[in-house]
Amino acid sequence: MITLKINGLNVTVEEGTTVLEAAKFLGFPIPTLCHMEGLSPYGACRLCVVEIGESPKSRLVSSCTYPAEAGLIVRTSSARVVKARKMVIELLLGTCPQSKVIQDLASEHGVRQQRFRQEHEDCILCGLCVRMCSEQMMAHAIGFRGRGEHRSLGTPFDVKSEVCRLCGGCIYVCPACQLRCTYNQPEKAICGGCGNLEPPCVEKPQFDDMMCYMTPCVACEIKKD
């Protein structure tokens, strides 16, 4: 058992618990995006930053991946944390402004502006779908490809996966939910599981068989060139 201090309160947790879990136990809210119970922590979105240690030597870490240490001093909503968190949200907004999840986060945390060039990316590379597919669905159908600027998500060689069972788990967890929405290229679709859900964009040409579950599909409204 380990005792650490979160926002001035002592809490005793089992070894291996993350700071995020410990904070949750005490009821301190920490926003997360790429974290999901049942999936391994990944630390991609940095939304869950907290400050650890004493100033001036304190630092920001992602609480979802940081294991609790004995005597650790954690602050979950210091000025520094709030500032960093807002910046993360702003960056996420810049990448994928059409995502409902990110919009909600922005309004929740009082992010009222977005100073970066809007990208309208399909994917924020949070890796939720990858982990869902491999850890919960045991399919290993999709994964990351490439690196840096060219990092993308999908099946190897962009061909329809043989191991994919069209469970739709990836869409279910996707905070952007546009990656799987392939609009007018049904042959590129990874799973097509969204076809089972409420069909919002049937009127769109060549798009009877593939659609995403957003009503209306926000990604489809955006002109891609």
Partner 1 sequence: MIAEEVSRVVEKHADRRGALISVLEEVQQKYGYLSPEALQAVAEKSRRSLVDVYSVATFYRAFTLTPRGKHHLCACVGTACHVRGAPNVVQELKTQLQVEPGETTPDREFTFETVNCLGACALGPMVTVDGRYNSNVSTAKVRRILDKARMGTQGEEPASDERNFPITVSCPKCHQSLMDASTPIDGHPSIHLETPMNGSRGWVRLSSLYGSHNCKSQAEIPLDSIAPLHCTHCSEELHGAGLCPECGSPMAVMLIEDAGILQLCTRRGCNGHALDLNEPEIAGRPSTRTAG
Options 1, 8, 27, 157; binder of partner 1; rule CB under 8 A = 157
Q: Which entry of ligand FES, partner 1, none binds 64, CB below 5 to 8 A by partner kind? A: ligand FES
Amino acid 55 reads S
- Give which of 185, 198, 201, 223 is closest to 98, Cα–Cα: 223
Among 46, 75, 131, 180, binds ligand FES (CB under 6 A): 46
Cα separation, 153 vs 95, in Å, equals 15
Nearer to ligand FES, 44 or 167 (CB): 44
Residue of 11, 22, 45, 125 interacting with ligand FES (CB under 6 A): 45
Q: Exposed (0-12), middle (13-18) or buried (19+): which is 152, by Cβ within 10 Å?
A: middle
Out of ligand FES, partner 1, none, what residue 144 binds, judged by CB under 5 to 8 A for its kind, is: partner 1
> Which DSSP symbol is given to 197?
S
**Single-letter amino acid, residue 37:** E
Least distance (Å) from ligand FES to the CB of residue 32? 4
The 8 Å CB, 24+ separation contacts for 203-206 are none
Count of residues interacting with ligand FES (CB under 6 A): 12
Q: State how far Cα 145 lies from the chain centre.
A: 17
Stretch that binds ligand FES, among 40-48, 52-60, 92-100, 176-184 (CB under 6 A): 40-48
Q: Please list every residue from 109 through 138 that binds partner 1, using CB under 8 A.
A: 130, 134
C-alpha 4/C-alpha 71 separation (Å) is 5
Position 131 contacts ligand FES (CB under 6 A): no
Asked if 104 and 127 count as a contact pair (C-beta separation under 8 A), the reply is: no
Contacts of 10 (CB under 8 A, 6+ apart): 3, 4
Residue 186 partner contact from partner 1, ligand FES, none using kind-dependent CB cut-offs of 5 to 8 Å: none
- Residues in contact with partner 1 by CB under 8 A are 130, 134, 140-147, 155-157, 163
- Residues in contact with ligand FES by CB under 6 A are 32-35, 43-48, 62, 64
